[in-house]
Copies of this chain bind each other. A is one copy, B any other.
Amino acid sequence: MNMQQVEAGAGRRVQVPLGERAYEIVIEPGALRNAGALIARRLPKARVAIITDATVAGFHLGSLHAALDETGIGHETITLPAGEKTKSFAHLIDVVDAVLAARLERGDAIVALGGGVIGDLAGFAAGIVRRGMHFIQVPTSLLAQVDSSVGGKTGINSPHGKNLVGVFHQPSLVIADTAVLDTLSPREFRAGYAEVAKYGLIDKPDFFAWLEKNWQRVFDGGPERVEAIAVSCEAKAEVVVADERESGRRALLNLGHTFGHALEAATEYDGSRLVHGEGVAIGMVLAHEFSNRMNLASADDAARVAAHLRQVGLPTRLSDIPGGLPPAERLLDLMGQDKKVVRGRLTFILTRGIGQSFIADDVPPAEVHAFLKEKLA
C-alpha cells in the first residue's frame, strides 16, 4: 500500500490470486476504450453478451461497442431497466433466455456493463447458463468497482430478502474505468465511498486516516481516486482469497451490513429514501456505537467515524432516512432474515476501534433490540 506515492495518470492492476480462478482487475481512467484488447487477450475468440441497464447504456454502451468492434469481438446486447427491482427471477430468466438464444457457448462470456445490480444479475446468469460461462465485469459505479466486482458473489433478491438467491462465480477479468465515475450523481458516488471507508474501518486505520485527508481528491478524480479504488480492491481480494466461500473471515466485509440490510429492507429498497451505501454508512456508525455500548470501543472512535462520513455528505443516523422506520422489533426481525444468521444467533461485525473490527457470533438479540429502541427514539 503506497498511498503517499501517487503518480498522475498511472493505472493500477490488482491480482486476485484464486488458483485456477485467478483474475486481474484493471483500474485506469479510460480503460473502457481498451476493453476489446483486454478481453481478447484474456479470452481469445470469445463472443460476448453485454448486459447493461438503460441509464448506463446511454452513457457508455457506445464506447464499449466501439472497443469490441475494433478488435473484432462479436457481441449481443441485453438492456434492462435500471434499479434494484431488476435483480429478480423475471429478469434473470430474460437474460438466460437471450444468452441461449444467441447460442453463446461455454467458452464465450457475459459482460456486465453497469453497477452492482447489473453485475450481480449478469454474474448469476453467467454462473448458471450451461453451468458456468466466462464472466467479465465492467463496473460503472464506485460501489461496484470497490465491492461487488471483487469476490465472485452474484445473485438476485427474493421477496424474503436481499441477495438470498445466487452463486459464487468469479469473473475472468474486471475492467474498472475510473473516469466513467464522473457520470455518477454525487449521491451515488458518496454511496460507493462508504464501502471505500469500510476497508479502512475493518483493519486499515492508516487508510482511514489517509481518506480523512484526501477524500476530496478521491471525489474529484485523478490519481487519488485510482489509489483509493486499488487499495479497496486489494483489501477485499485479500479477504476473499483467505475465505472464498464466506465460512469465516470474509464476514468482516459485512461491517455495517447487518444493520444496513435491515434498513434497506425496512425502506423497501426504495432508492429515493436509502441506497445500499447509505445503509452501510449508517450501519457502520451504528456498529461503532453499539460496540461502544458493549464497552468494546471508545465513544470518540464512533464520533470520528460519524464525523468523516457526515463530512463527505453521507447519512449517519436513523433520523437521516426520510420517512418513518418500523419499530425495533421489526428491524431485528429483518436482521434475522439476513444470510449471515447461524442457527438463530446474530452474527455481527463489531469493533474495538478504528481498523480493529472482529466477528462476534453470539450477540444477544435483546441488547440489539434495546440499542435500536434508543436510536429510534
Which residues between 285 and 343 of chain A lie within 8 Å of chain B, taking CB atoms? 337, 339, 341-343
Residue A132 at the B interface, CB < 8 A? yes
Q: How far is the CA of A341 from the CA of B97 in the complex (A)?
A: 18
Q: Which of B100, B166, B246 contacts A128 (CB 8 A)?
A: B166
Residue A153 at the B interface, CB < 8 A? yes
B167 near A155 with CB under 8 A, answer: no
Q: How far is the CA of A342 from the CA of B107 in the complex (A)?
A: 8
Residue A85 at the B interface, CB < 8 A? no
Q: Which of B96, B103, B132, B167 contacts A245 (CB 8 A)?
A: B132
Q: Which applies to chain A's interface (DSSP): helix, strand, loop or mixed?
A: loop
Residue A59 at the B interface, CB < 8 A? no
Total copies of this chain within the assembly:
2
B339 near A106 with CB under 8 A, answer: yes
A160 near B337 with CB under 8 A, answer: no
Look across to chain B and name the residue whose beta carbon is closest to the beta carbon of A344: B105
Residue A129 at the B interface, CB < 8 A? yes
Residue A89 at the B interface, CB < 8 A? yes
Q: Mark A71-85, 1 if CB is under 8 A from B, else 0.
A: 000000000000000
Residue A22 at the B interface, CB < 8 A? no
Which residues between 84 and 112 of chain A lie within 8 Å of chain B, taking CB atoms? 89, 93, 96-97, 100-101, 103, 105-107
Which residues between 159 and 209 of chain A lie within 8 Å of chain B, taking CB atoms? 159-161, 164-168
Look across to chain B and name the residue whose beta carbon is closest to the beta carbon of A89: B93
Q: How far is the CA of A264 from the CA of B309 in the complex (A)?
A: 60
B130 near A97 with CB under 8 A, answer: no
Cβ–Cβ < 8 Å partners of A93 in chain B: 89
Cβ–Cβ < 8 Å partners of A155 in chain B: 128, 131
Look across to chain B and name the residue whose beta carbon is closest to the beta carbon of A158: B100
Q: State whether A167 and B342 are in contact (beta carbons under 8 Å apart), knowing that A93-B89, A100-B158 are contacts in the complex.
A: no
Residue A42 at the B interface, CB < 8 A? no
* Interface, chain A (partner B; CB < 8 A): 45, 89, 93, 96-97, 100-101, 103, 105-107, 127-132, 153, 155, 158-161, 164-168, 245-246, 337, 339, 341-343
Q: Identify 13 residue pairs between A and B in the complex whose beta-carbon atoms are under 8 Å apart, listed by A's number.
A: A89-B93, A96-B165, A100-B161, A100-B165, A103-B337, A105-B343, A106-B339, A107-B342, A128-B165, A129-B164, A131-B153, A131-B246, A167-B167
